[in-house]
Amino acid sequence: MREINYARRYENCLICPRACGVNRTAGDKGFCGMGDTPIVNLVMLHRGEEPPISGTRGSGAVFFEGCSLKCVFCQNFDVSRGPTGKGETVTDEDLSKIYLKLQNDGAHNINLVTAGHFIPTIASSVRIARDNGLNIPVVFNSGGYESVESLKTLDGLIDIYMPDMKFFSKSLSGKLCMAPDYFEVCSKALDEMFRQTGPFVLDGNGIMTRGMIVRHLMLPGQLFDTKKVLDYLCERFGNDIYISLMNQYTPFEYMYPDMKLPEFLQRKLPQSHYDSAADYLIDKGQINAFIQEDASGDDMLPDFKT
């Protein structure tokens, strides 16, 4: 396990694939919009994750502000464009105490949500927490657009990776998150995540203790792209991972009336398209999959501090 001078990693920031090179320790902000000190918007026992993550007691979710991807349709838009001015600035020591409190509150795991732009501090915080008695799994919950080199600093610290694989098409990812290289970057990141965890492991109660869950949020009008993503995941990882096919896309007009989305995103996902993708996934022999029966939309969105 490598030692990290995490403060120096922010001086010429190459933490995410944007590789902005800005000095975040001097107050400069790159694409993620954040300085060198993490801001936590919300800490909660989250019962809305996949069953092996939420279990019966909830997942100990820690939501970070800012994001290196900034999808135009982000369902956590309130905090991904941070800072909001309402979150709590935290050090690695502070984070370790948050993890230990969540463990004491009964969380099945520690769930780090959109923490990729703070990876050096995350690594340090998990080490400190482990040294002070943290013994539940740590989940890295990510948009999938991560640097392999940065992920390597988490080797041995993260038990479960829960990345998205959002897009296959370069034109689609370029249009929706200014990252035409998304699929190339994400596929390499998933390889590194799987290298670290290996095939998933469940305990006697069906709670995941190690492994990877890859999420794909279906978008309206993009069934072909969804099938290409599913093709890749099934062929690359098969039933060694879980695939979570998600149908809760909610157009921003429901939440942010002043914002405008591309026309094809201004409607909800047709149920028939979701059913088609679910059947496609099952027909490919993927038995370790999460299929949603009902769209939850914004009912499952956390109550962020905004």
Show the beta-strand stretches assigned E in 65-121: 88-89, 110-113
What is the value of pTM for the model shown? 0.94
User: Could you tell me the two tokens for 69?
Assistant: 């991807």
Q: How far apart are CA 139 and CA 154, in angstroms?
A: 11
147 lies in some domain: yes
Tell whether the model's pLDDT for residue 300 goes beyond 60: no
**Mean pLDDT computed over every residue of the chain:** 92
Return the pLDDT at 8.
Answer: 76
Least confident of 10-14, 39-43, 178-182, 254-258: 254-258
Tell whether the model's pLDDT for residue 7 goes beyond 70: no
Tell whether the model's pLDDT for residue 259 goes beyond 90: no
The fraction of the chain above a pLDDT of 70, given in percent, is: 92
Return the pLDDT at 51.
Answer: 97
Q: How far apart are CA 111 and CA 56, in angstroms?
A: 15
1 lies in some domain: no
270 lies in some domain: yes
pLDDT in tens, 165-189: 999 999 999 999 999 999 999 999 9
Closest-CA residue to 163 (of 190, 194, 196, 192): 190
304 lies in some domain: no
pLDDT in tens, 28-55: 999 999 999 999 999 999 999 999 999 9
- How many domains is the chain partitioned into structurally? 1
Place of tokens 């320790």: 25
pLDDT band per the 50, 70, 90 thresholds, residue 23: very high
Between 1 and 217, name the one with better pLDDT: 217
Identify the CATH number of the domain in which residue 17 sits.
3.20.20.70
121 lies in some domain: yes
Q: In terms of DSSP H, where are the helices of 105-250? A: 119-131, 148-152, 170-177, 182-197, 223-237
Tell whether the model's pLDDT for residue 256 goes beyond 70: no
CA-to-CA separations, 34 to 17, 37, 89, 99, 302, in angstroms, rounded: 15, 8, 11, 22, 21
Q: What is the span of the domain harbouring residue 51?
A: 8-293
Return the pLDDT at 254.
Answer: 53
pLDDT in tens, 220-230: 999 999 999 99
167 lies in some domain: yes
Place of tokens 């499952």: 300
Read off the pLDDT of each residue in 89-116 and give the average, rounded to a whole number. 98
Return the pLDDT at 4.
Answer: 52
2 lies in some domain: no
Return the pLDDT at 160.
Answer: 99
Return the pLDDT at 290.
Answer: 97
61 lies in some domain: yes
Return the pLDDT at 2.
Answer: 44
pLDDT in tens, 145-169: 999 999 999 999 999 999 999 999 9
Between 149 and 298, name the one with better pLDDT: 149
